[in-house]
Amino acid sequence: IHVTNDDRGRKGVSWTKEVTVLIGELIVQLLQDWLVMVDSRSVSLPFLKEPYIYIERRANSVLLNTNIGVKVSAPTPATAGT
């Protein structure tokens, strides 16, 4: 799991710009504005790629569920930093 944060212009304040997860042979990117990429392709939510991942949109975030029990929640820009 790799997280890239974006500077918000003030010291000590940032938001999540991108979360990248490698699971099996898949590369999943959770980006800003509800954009989700799987192996460099944009996907619509909910998204299922058996047996590895299920990705869904929650109220204020995107939730990645994996077959190994790891869950990653990435906030949208509107909720980042709150």
Cα–Cα distance, 71 to 82 (Å, whole number): 20
Number of domains in the chain: 1
Question: Among 23-27, 30-34, 40-44, which range has the highest average pLDDT?
Answer: 40-44
Look at residue 9 and tell me whether its pLDDT is greater than 90.
no
Higher pLDDT, 75 or 77: 75
pTM score of the predicted model: 0.82
In a domain, 65, yes or no: yes
Domain range for residue 53?
2-75
> What pLDDT is attached to residue 50?
95
pLDDT digits (tens, 9 = 90+) for 37-57: 999 999 999 999 999 999 999
**Which contacts (CB < 8 Å, 24+ apart) does range 63-72 have?**
64/19, 64/21, 64/28, 64/30, 66/21, 66/23, 67/23, 68/23, 70/1, 70/21, 70/23, 72/1, 72/19, 72/21, 72/30
In a domain, 21, yes or no: yes
